[in-house]
Amino acid sequence: MLLEEIIDKNKIKADDYISILMIGSYLLFALFFRLEAFISIIIYPFASLGIYGVLKIINALNKRNNAGRVKGNKILSGTIYIILSFLFSTFILLQPNITSHIIISLISFPLMIVGCAGIIKGMLIDIYLVKYRVISILLGLITIIVCFIAFSSVVNGFLFNMIMLSITFFMNVLSRAALYLSEYGLSLLHIKNIKLFFYIISDYLIYVDTNGNIVLSKFE
């Protein structure tokens, strides 16, 4: 089966729009918030390293055909990535010239992109169930509003903003999981389906074959 036949065209279109949005938004971010943008060049790659470490561990645990030593090496390397990410990011953010507002801004900006991505995916990708598309759009709007409130310091409370952003991030993860799983007629209410969600966001291509079975394929 050709890759073009497996991947929905609207998914590709949505990803293209999101990529353009990310680039355009970051240019504006760098234009108006130069210090935050400079710090983000250091922080975001290490944050991504931590996320990669988490996905690497999940990927190793999900693969049943991995030999024990191979699986152990992947879990170890993923753990090292997470530790390095945490230690280096903490070191940078604890510098005297890094204010609480800068930390909130560095968290709010990518989360705002996540909210915009939720809106784009909910509007463009029609293979997802309608109710989850609507939820994704509404939550995307809420996420943008929450990030704007935190980013603009309308509420001057670091702990409050952090809690608000953390809850928003967690809700986005649940919403995105429910959205992706709805393509296969699966519900997030069944905990075992979360495993498939992690396959979707890692390095696997997932599609339904002619017999109606969900197929996992290494996406390289």
Q: What is the pLDDT of residue 34?
A: 83
CB 196 within 8 A of CB 206: yes
Which of 28-37, 57-66, 72-81 shows the lowest per-residue confidence on average (mean pLDDT)?
57-66
Q: What is the pLDDT of residue 35?
A: 83
Distance in angstroms between the alpha carbons of the first and the last residue of the chain = 15
Give the rounded distance of the alpha carbon of 23 from its chain centre: 16
Q: Which residue's entry shows tokens 């997030």?
A: 188
Give the rounded distance of the alpha carbon of 17 from its chain centre: 16
DSSP state for residue 67 in the 8-state scheme: -
Give residue limits of the domains in the chain.
8-218
- Digit-coded pLDDT (tens) for 42-64: 888 888 888 888 878 877 776 65
Does residue 104 surpass a pLDDT of 60? yes
CB 166 within 8 A of CB 108: no
Residue 186 CA to residue 203 CA, distance in Å, equals: 20
Q: What is the pLDDT of residue 78?
A: 86
From residue 15, give the alpha-carbon distance in Å to each of 21, 95, 154.
10, 36, 32
Residue 153 CA to residue 147 CA, distance in Å, equals: 10
Any bridge partners for residue 217, and if so which? 205
CB 61 within 8 A of CB 208: no
Length of the chain counted residue by residue: 220
Q: Which residue's entry shows tokens 């017999």?
A: 211
Q: What is the pLDDT of residue 7?
A: 63
Residue 199 CA to residue 137 CA, distance in Å, equals: 23
Task: Report the mean per-residue pLDDT for the chain.
Answer: 82
Does residue 220 surpass a pLDDT of 60? no
Predicted TM-score (pTM) above 0.85: no
DSSP state letters, 154-209: SS--HHHHHHHHHHHHHHHHHHHHHHHHHTTT--TTSGGGHHHHHHHHTTEEEEE-
Query: Which residues, 6 or more positions from 20, have their beta carbon under 8 angstroms from its beta carbon?
Result: none
**pLDDT band (50, 70, 90) for residue 3:** very low
Residues 33-49, mean pLDDT to the nearest whole number: 86
- Digit-coded pLDDT (tens) for 128-151: 889 999 999 999 999 999 998 888
Please tell me which residue, 86 or 190, carries the higher pLDDT value. Answer: 86
Q: What is the pLDDT of residue 141?
A: 95
Does residue 189 surpass a pLDDT of 90? no
Burial group, residue 121, by CB count within 10 angstroms (0-12, 13-18, 19+): buried
Q: What is the pLDDT of residue 56?
A: 82
Please tell me which residue, 126 or 212, carries the higher pLDDT value. Answer: 126
Residues 112-125, mean pLDDT to the nearest whole number: 92
| Structural tokens at position 80 | 């090292």
